[in-house]
Amino acid sequence: MSLPRHPDVRVIASQPVASGRAFDVVREELVLPSGLRQELLLIDHPGAVVVLAENERREVAVVRQYRHAIGAWLSELPAGRIERGEHRLAAAQRELDEEVGVRATQWLSLGCFFPAPGFCSEQIEIFWARCLTPSGSARRALDADEEIAVTWRPWREAEAELAADGKSVVAFARWRVMAGL
């Protein structure tokens, strides 16, 4: 991974602090064009995808899993990190297969956003997946550290249930703009 750089910002020092499976932590000192110096602790993240999966009954896939950082179970749209060298659409297809057990033949990107740009380089791309079929015996296994429950909810009910999850809120907002609602 490597942090994006703006040509007008001078990085004086960059030191790795920690490296993990999902992201790296880097301490950087930089100078802005105005001369202001900053020292930052940053998360260098490969990016992620989130999937609004809609079935033929116009229901949305909702996954529920434990999130230790908040000490609670959270309802979310299917989502996950992009693996090194993986294309964003391939990551979305993989996550939908793993977490929900379905595959889609229609995919539409609803754009990208930065969930925490003050300290993290993560960029999340939102996909709307339709024309779903069960993965069946070809379903990919969940990651070894995942335990997920899947339900299907009507759009309004799903949107209300997912209101505590930022990426899901942004995904629904982008879908509403795209749909002209």
**pLDDT at residue 132, as a whole number:** 97
CATH: 2.30.29.30, 3.90.79.10, 3.50.50.60, 2.60.40.10. Which one for 48-179?
3.90.79.10
Mean pLDDT on 37-48: 96
Q: How far is CA 175 from CA 66, 112, 170, in A?
A: 26, 12, 9
How deeply is 37 buried, as exposed, middle or buried, from its count of CB atoms within 10 A (0-12, 13-18, 19+)? exposed
| Residue 1 confidence (pLDDT) | 59
Tell me the pLDDT tens digit for each residue of 115-173.
999 999 999 999 999 999 999 877 777 677 778 999 999 999 999 999 999 999 999 99
Q: Which residues contact 24 (CB under 8 A, 6 or more apart)?
A: 1, 16, 18, 43, 44
Q: Which residues pair with 54 in a beta bridge?
A: 60
* Domain edges within the chain: 10-44, 48-179
Contact 12, 40 (CB under 8 A): no
CB count in 10 Å sphere of residue 120? 15
